[in-house]
């Protein structure tokens, strides 16, 4: 049986309070107000809003970004972009009161430093293939020095598709990356679904799960989110 909204909110509280377990949830790629309203009601922690990505079906215009960010009541809006060099980007984010920027491309540390100097919190995606190869690791110290706030581990397939693959990295690869990033804030994306969410939530060193495909039905964020959160709740109780 699918739980009510009230029970979902209670489940998330239990997940966070159970023996000190704190697992935050980000739902990525919202495009309409109905999706934002749903995420507000479900008490998720973050919502990803894609912007400035030519040809991406979920990339938002400046006006839509403003509207959706303003509608977030609980979840913190995170702007997600591939190329942050747009000179008007930071002004737009400040105008929208968006305090977080997720860099989903191969942004060099020098650009991260420039963004940090303008007062934005930065989440840097680390693109990892199934063999554990991650091109950004060579710059890890430079990213640290530039002020990256959070590192997001995501499965990398190709430069033509650098996210939303709906497939997870091998567990051994994830564990090795988390160990490599020890002492830093780490989020995880890629293939987090109803059958895997509990195992991912039990991973030491992971602060938040970034979910896209598994929260959608016919392309819209909605129906699958409830059983997904139920599985998270049940899994945490089981592992606990």
Cβ–Cβ < 8 Å for 44, 75? yes
71 CB-near residues (< 8 Å, 6+ apart): 33, 36, 37, 40
Exposed e or buried b per residue across 20-54, where buried means at least 16 C-beta atoms within 10 angstroms of its C-beta: eeebbbbbbbbbeeebbebbeebbbbbbbbbbbbe
pLDDT digits (tens, 9 = 90+) for 191-201: 999 999 988 98
Which pLDDT belongs to residue 173?
97
List the structure tokens of 207: 């602060």
Q: Mean pLDDT throughout 197-208?
A: 90
* 196: Cα separation from own chain's centroid: 16
**pLDDT of the residue at 201:** 86
pLDDT band at 19 (very low <50, low <70, confident <90, very high): very low
pLDDT at 166: 67
Other Cβ atoms closer than 10 A to 196: 17
Reduce the DSSP state of residue 99 to 3 states and report it. coil
Q: In a 3-state reduction of DSSP, which class is residue 121?
A: strand
Q: What share of the chain in percent tops pLDDT 90?
A: 62
| Model pLDDT, residue 193 | 92
Confidence of residue 82 (pLDDT cuts 50, 70, 90): confident
**Size of the chain in residues:** 240
Which residues touch 87 (CB under 8 Å, ≥6 apart)? none
- How far, rounded to the nearest angstrom, does the alpha carbon of residue 106 sit from its chain's CA centroid? 17
pTM over 0.75: yes
- Are the CB atoms for 136 and 115 separated by under 8 Å? no
CATH numbers and ranges of domains, the chain: 5-239 (3.20.20.70)
Q: How far is CA 238 from CA 73, 96, 207, 228, in A?
A: 31, 40, 19, 15
Condensed to tens digits (0 to 9), the pLDDT of residues 155-181 reads: 987 555 555 566 899 999 999 999 999
φ, ψ for residue 157 (rounded to 5)?
Answer: -110, -55
Cα dihedral across residues 31, 33, 38, 41: positive or negative:
positive
Is the model's pLDDT at 2 over the cut of 50? no
């Amino acid at each position: 049986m699918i739980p009510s909204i009230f029970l979902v909110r209670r489940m998330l509280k239990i997940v966070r309070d159970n023996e000190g377990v704190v697992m935050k949830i980000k739902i990525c790629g919202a495009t309409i107000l109905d999706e934002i309203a749903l995420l507000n009601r479900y008490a998720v922690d973050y919502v990803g809003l894609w912007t400035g990505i030519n040809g991406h079906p979920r990339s938002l215009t400046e006006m839509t970004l403003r509207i959706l960010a303003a509608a977030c009541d609980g979840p913190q809006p995170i702007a997600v972009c591939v190329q942050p060099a747009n000179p008007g980007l930071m002004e737009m984010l400040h105008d929208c009161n968006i305090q977080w920027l997720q860099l989903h491309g191969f942004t060099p540390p020098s650009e991260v430093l420039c963004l940090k100097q303008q007062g934005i919190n930065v989440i840097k995606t680390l693109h990892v293939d199934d063999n554990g190869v991650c091109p950004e690791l060579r710059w890890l110290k430079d990213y640290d020095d530039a002020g990256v706030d959070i590192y997001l581990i995501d499965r990398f397939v190709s430069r033509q598709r650098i996210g939303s693959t709906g497939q997870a990295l091998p567990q051994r690869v994830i564990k090795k990356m988390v160990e490599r990033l020890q002492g830093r804030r780490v989020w995880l994306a890629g293939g987090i679904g109803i059958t895997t969410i509990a195992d991912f939530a039990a991973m030491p060193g992971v602060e938040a799960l970034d979910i896209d495909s598994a929260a959608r039905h016919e392309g819209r964020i909605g129906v699958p989110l409830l059983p997904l959160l139920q599985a998270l709740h049940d899994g945490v109780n089981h592992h606990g």
